[in-house]
Amino acid sequence: MSDFDLRALIREVADASTVADPGVLVAEVSARIAPKNRAAALNQCLRPVVIQTLSQMRMSPSYPGDQDGGDSHYRPAAGGSPSHKGARIREHWRKALRACLPVGDGEWKFLAECNEADLDYAATLRENHAAQTLAQAERLRRLRKLLAEHNAATVGDLPDDVLRDGLEGNE
């Protein structure tokens, strides 16, 4: 197991950077990864990509890689031509059972394998994420309001006390 810490390197690059563009940061982080640490870096960064891809698959009625067009057992009515789109829609629920869900303690299960506790955990996790996202959106709306109130062009132009209160939600 490698001692390489990709997140620590990312924080180091981000803290030293004068740009906010993730693409620029990616290039700098990549340039700083020694060849001997590339496999460790790849393993560390693949997990969130795999999780994101599984999530996208779970939310999409048809995802890339679904090449068979749906239920291969589907047969059209006599005289009708097969509709792969229709079959895919009819069979979406079967694919939903293969959705991968976090169920606590670092464990993941297919939806078809989840019990009540697993479903409660997965639902609570999503509710918490939704609440965090809503709080972030409210903070951005609050900052936008402060820009107008203080005739500021950018958030960085706001007075420190206004900015502190605005970011902490104490306006």
Residue 85 to residues 19, 31, 59, 68, Cα–Cα distance (Å) = 44, 44, 17, 10
- pLDDT for 62: 52
Token readout for 11 is 């924080």
Strand boundaries in 13-165, DSSP class E: 100-104, 107-110
Whether 118 maps to a domain, the answer reads: yes
- pLDDT for 71: 42
- pLDDT for 63: 47
Whether 30 maps to a domain, the answer reads: yes
Model confidence, pTM: 0.59
What range defines the domain where residue 2 resides? 1-60
- pLDDT for 13: 94
Low-confidence ranges of the chain (pLDDT < 50): 63-75
- pLDDT for 167: 86
- Which 8-state DSSP code applies to residue 112? G
Token readout for 3 is 């001692």
Domain count, the chain: 2
- pLDDT for 51: 85
- pLDDT for 8: 95
Domain C-terminal end among 60, 84, 110: 60
Domain C-terminal end among 41, 60, 79: 60
